[in-house]
Amino acid sequence: MTVERQPGDLRAALAKTIVGQEGVLEALLLALLSNGHVLLEGPPGLAKTLACRSLAAALEGDFKRIQFTPDLLPSDIVGTRIFDQRESRFATVLGPIFANVVLADEINRAPAKVQSALLEAMQERQVTIGPESHVLPDPFVVMATMNPLDSEGTYALPIAQMDRFLMKINVGYPTREEELQILDRFAMADTQPVRCVATLDDVRAWRAAAHAVHVDEKLKRYIVDLVAITRAAQSVAVKSAGGACLKAAELIDYGASPRATLALAFLARGRALLDGRDFALPDDVRAVAAPALRHRIGFNYRLATENVSADVVIDAMIAAIPAP
Amino acid sequence: MARKLTAPLILVAVACLASAGIGRGQTLQRLTVQAFLLSADTMQPQVDVPFHVVVTLHVRERVSAINNLQLPMLAQLELLGDERQTVTDPRGTQYREVVTVVVHDAGRFAIAPATLQAIDARDGKPKQWFTNDLPLSVHSSATHIANGVAAGLFRDIARIVAALIWLALLVGAALLMIFLLRRRTPGAPVPVAEPVSYQRMPSEAEQRRHQIEDALLVLRAERTRSAAVRVRAAVWRIIGAPEGETLGDVLRRPGCSEGPLRDLLVALERSAFTYDEDLAAAVDDAGAALERYAEALT
pLDDT in tens, chain A (324 residues): 344 788 888 888 888 888 888 888 899 899 999 999 999 888 888 888 788 888 888 888 888 889 999 899 999 999 998 988 888 888 889 999 999 989 888 888 888 888 888 888 888 999 988 888 899 998 899 989 887 766 677 888 877 778 889 999 988 888 898 888 888 877 776 767 777 788 888 889 999 999 999 999 999 999 999 999 999 888 888 888 778 888 888 899 999 999 999 999 999 999 999 999 999 999 999 999 999 999 999 998 988 888 888 999 999 999 999 999
Whole-number Cα distances in Å, B133 to A6, B71, B176: 59, 11, 31
Rg of chain B on CA atoms, in Å: 23
Question: Which superfamily, per CATH, for B2-147?
Answer: Immunoglobulins (2.60.40.10)
Task: Say what the pLDDT of residue B190 is.
Answer: 60
CA A102/CA B24 separation, integer angstroms:
52
Q: What angle do CA B74, B77, B78 make, to 5 degrees?
A: 115
CA B79/CA B6 separation, integer angstroms:
7
Residue of B246, B266, B274 to mutate, testing the A interface (most A Cβ within 10 Å of its Cβ): B246
Q: Are B248 and A219 within 8 A, CB to CB?
A: no
Report whether pLDDT(B112) > 90.
no
CA A237/CA B120 separation, integer angstroms:
42
Tens of pLDDT, residue by residue over B238-286, are 888 888 889 999 999 888 888 889 999 999 999 999 999 999 999 999 9
Q: Are B246 and A216 within 8 A, CB to CB?
A: no
CA A74/CA A67 separation, integer angstroms:
13
Confidence of residue B6 (pLDDT cuts 50, 70, 90): very low
Residue of B246, B270, B275 lying closest to A282 (CB–CB): B246
CA A62/CA A123 separation, integer angstroms:
19
Least confident of B11-15, B133-137, B291-295: B11-15
Confidence of residue B24 (pLDDT cuts 50, 70, 90): very low
Q: Are B246 and A280 within 8 A, CB to CB?
A: no
Question: What ipTM was reported for this prediction?
Answer: 0.80
Nearest CA in chain B to A220: B273
Chain B residues with beta carbon closer than 8 angstroms to that of A276: none
Name residue B69's beta-bridge partners.
B116
Residue of A281, A287, A322 lying closest to B273 (CB–CB): A281
Edge-first strand listing for the sheet containing A101-105: A63-67, A101-105, A141-146, A38-41, A167-170
Report the share of chain B in percent with pLDDT over 70. Answer: 80
Task: Say what the pLDDT of residue B194 is.
Answer: 58
Cis peptide upstream of residue A139 (ω within 30 degrees of 0): yes
Residue of A281, A287, A322 lying closest to B269 (CB–CB): A281
Q: What angle do CA A288, A290, A292 make, to 5 degrees?
A: 65
Rg of chain A on CA atoms, in Å: 21
Task: Say what the pLDDT of residue B1 is.
Answer: 39
Any CB–CB contact under 8 A between B277 and chain A?
Answer: no
Tens of pLDDT, residue by residue over B89-100, are 888 888 988 888
- pTM attached to this predicted model: 0.67
More confident residue, B143 or B90: B90
Q: Are A214 and B275 within 8 A, CB to CB?
A: yes
Residues in CB range of B140: below 8 A, 6 or more apart: B46, B47, B106
Confidence of residue B187 (pLDDT cuts 50, 70, 90): low
Nearest CA in chain B to A214: B275
Q: How far apart are the first and last CA of chain A?
A: 42
Confidence of residue B17 (pLDDT cuts 50, 70, 90): very low
Q: What angle do CA B134, B172, B175 make, to 5 degrees?
A: 80
| CATH class of the domain at A7-207 | alpha beta
Q: Identify the architecture of domain A213-320 in CATH.
A: Orthogonal Bundle (1.10)
Q: Are A282 and B247 within 8 A, CB to CB?
A: yes
Name residue A237's beta-bridge partners.
A247
Confidence of residue B179 (pLDDT cuts 50, 70, 90): confident
Q: What angle do CA B214, B219, B222 make, to 5 degrees?
A: 120
Nearest CA in chain B to A278: B274
More confident residue, A258 or B136: A258
Confidence of residue B188 (pLDDT cuts 50, 70, 90): low
Of A295, A285, A294, give the one whose Cα is nearest residue A264: A285
Domain boundaries, chain B: 2-147, 204-297
Domain boundaries, chain A: 7-207, 213-320
Cβ atoms of residues A41 and A146 within 8 Å: yes
Residue of A280, A287, A322 lying closest to B273 (CB–CB): A280
Cβ atoms of residues B22 and B207 within 8 Å: yes
Any CB–CB contact under 8 A between B257 and chain A?
Answer: no
